[in-house]
């Protein structure tokens, strides 16, 4: 029997959750077994397209595994984490759950996740580097569903008008700055948005300097590197490579619909692979895709980013059934054809090829080609510590003060370390 649970409506499933919370029996011991069948719960955050795809995949799983029923639980990003926190606190976590890298270490430190290396989960289709993304202290708590990475997209038409081209070979931060300034001088279009407030790009900048954003539960950046970061963007602002402070403050950097790139006010845009098709569609013309500065350095600064993970509850009563579901979602080629690149580029190497070969549009092929380039030069990205969710707001506030010259880059660097460490200490 197949059971569906929407975000807010299934009375039966709510009853099951309450029962689990009251008994503290995790995946359940009485309500989850009927004859030789077992029932496991699977949760994920979603959007309408992902919901439909995942339901289709679970239907296929139950056809292939008639001895296992899957109760599906899904909701929006914010609701998902609120609900999961309540469930895990009450001992009623789903048997299998979709996990994010920003949350993985938090749930591991609370003892909520199973070391997947002790289960029957098949990891043979993933590279060693991809597997490392889901490890904490050497144990595998998250199996990377898909990978993505930071990238630049650019507007070839503006580049042509400026008489410049995007670097194909390794290039420096200084050469990027010169490129942005030249584009503005030749066309009046800014080279790119001021990305001073982006923690992801700051983290990458630090890796090119041989540092990491985090060192355990502390800020890992030196004052020198942070000062260079704030000064880099302030210099670009003063030389016309990026918008003025007033223009920069007039839009949300995390809202693609407000991006100056799609309004052709900037020529280059920083983002994570996966959102690039939306920008291309909004721009209404072809875009180019390029690697970040210093991607070819010997210390491999380019981070390989786990887009999402499959995790198993440490309290599950059915680890064998849960492992079968994770194996199916991760490794089955039919599932890969259903999911395509909705969760990012498949982490399973063979499924990545299948998705690229079966793609009906050229964009997916371009995305997989880009990830092949990244994988050749990247190293795994470290998981963020508990409390890191506040770092983005700290960096954003300080960056705005720097762009308006209310504080100096050096003062901003000192404050970032001070405020960041305080947030991380409160985990």
pLDDT tens-digit series, residues 255-304 = 777 889 999 999 999 998 877 888 898 899 999 999 999 999 998 999 88
Contacts of 22 (CB under 8 A, 6+ apart): none
Within this chain, domains 38-146+306-379 and 150-272+386-425 share the same CATH topology: yes
159 contacts 186 by C-beta, under 8 angstroms: no
- Cα distance between residue 206 and residue 218, in whole Å: 15
pLDDT tens profile 140-150: 999 999 988 89
Residue 153, strand partner residues: 269, 289
CA distance 266 to 286: 15
Over residues 319-341, the pLDDT tens digits come to: 999 999 999 999 999 999 999 88
Give the residue among 163, 166, 220, 206 at the shortest CA–CA distance from 299: 206
Per-residue pLDDT tens digits for 149-205: 899 999 999 999 999 999 999 999 999 999 999 999 999 999 999 999 999 999 999
Look at residue 358 and tell me whether its pLDDT is greater than 90. Answer: no
Task: Determine the pLDDT at residue 33.
Answer: 63
Sequence spans of domains, the chain: 38-146+306-379, 150-272+386-425
pTM: 0.77
**Nearest residue to 273 via CA among 202, 338, 341:** 341
pLDDT (0 to 100) of residue 371: 87
What's the confidence (pLDDT) of residue 25? 37
pLDDT average, residue stretch 396-420: 97
134-141 average pLDDT score: 95
Work out the burial of residue 200: count CB atoms within 10 Å of its CB; fewer than 13 is exposed, 13-18 middle, 19 or more buried: middle
Which residue stretches of 113-221 are H helix? 128-132, 156-162, 173-187, 199-208
Query: Domain 150-272+386-425, what fold?
Result: D-Maltodextrin-Binding Protein; domain 2 (3.40.190)
What is the distance, to the nearest Å, from the Cα of residue 176 to the centroid of all Cα atoms in its chain?
25
User: Which of 23, 22, 65 shows the shortest CA–CA distance to 42?
Assistant: 65
pLDDT digits (tens, 9 = 90+) for 207-237: 999 999 999 889 999 999 999 999 999 999 9
Q: Tell me, which fold does domain 38-146+306-379 have in CATH?
A: D-Maltodextrin-Binding Protein; domain 2 (3.40.190)
């Amino acid at each position: 029997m197949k059971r569906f649970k929407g975000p807010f409506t299934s009375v039966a499933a709510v009853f099951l959750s309450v029962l689990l919370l009251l008994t503290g029996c995790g995946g359940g011991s009485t309500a989850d077994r009927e004859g030789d069948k077992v029932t496991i719960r699977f949760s994920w955050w979603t959007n309408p397209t992902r919901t439909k795809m995942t339901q289709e995949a679970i239907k296929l799983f139950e056809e292939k595994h008639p001895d296992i029923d899957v109760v599906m639980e899904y909701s929006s990003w914010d609701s998902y984490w609120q609900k999961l926190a309540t469930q895990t606190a009450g001992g009623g976590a789903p048997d299998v759950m979709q996990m994010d890298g920003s949350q993985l270490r938090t749930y591991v430190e609370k003892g909520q996740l199973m070391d997947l290396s002790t289960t029957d989960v098949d990891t043979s289709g993933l590279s060693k580097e991809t597997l490392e993304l889901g490890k904490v202290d050497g144990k595998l708590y998250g199996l990377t569903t898909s990978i993505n990475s930071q990238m630049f997209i650019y507007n070839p038409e503006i580049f042509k008008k400026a008489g410049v081209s995007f670097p194909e070979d390794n290039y420096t931060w200084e050469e990027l700055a010169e490129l942005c300034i030249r584009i503005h001088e030749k066309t009046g279009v800014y080279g790119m948005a001021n990305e001073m407030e982006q923690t992801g790009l700051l983290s990458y900048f630090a890796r090119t300097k041989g540092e990491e954003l985090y060192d355990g539960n502390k800020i890992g950046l030196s004052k020198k590197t942070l000062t260079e970061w704030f000064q880099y963007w302030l210099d670009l602002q003063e030389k016309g490579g990026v918008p003025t402070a007033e223009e920069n403050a007039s839009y949300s950097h995390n809202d693609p619909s407000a991006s100056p790139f799609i309004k052709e006010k900037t020529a280059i845009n920083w983002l994570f692979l996966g959102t690039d098709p939306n920008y291309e569609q909004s721009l209404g013309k072809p875009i180019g895709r390029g690697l970040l500065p210093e991607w070819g350095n010997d210390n491999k600064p380019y981070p390989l980013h786990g887009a999402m993970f499959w995790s198993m509850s440490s309290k599950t009563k059915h680890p064998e059934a849960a492992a079968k579901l994770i194996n199916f979602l991760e490794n089955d080629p039919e599932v890969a054809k259903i999911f395509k690149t909705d969760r990012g580029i498949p982490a399973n190497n063979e499924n990545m090829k299948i998705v690229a070969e079966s793609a009906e549009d050229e964009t997916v092929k371009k995305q997989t080609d880009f990830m092949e380039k990244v994988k050749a030069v990247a190293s795994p990205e470290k998981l963020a510590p508990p409390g890191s969710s506040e770092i983005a707001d700290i960096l954003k506030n300080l960056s705005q003060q720097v762009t308006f010259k209310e504080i100096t880059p050096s003062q901003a660097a000192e404050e970032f370390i001070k405020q960041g460490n305080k947030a991380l200490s409160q985990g």
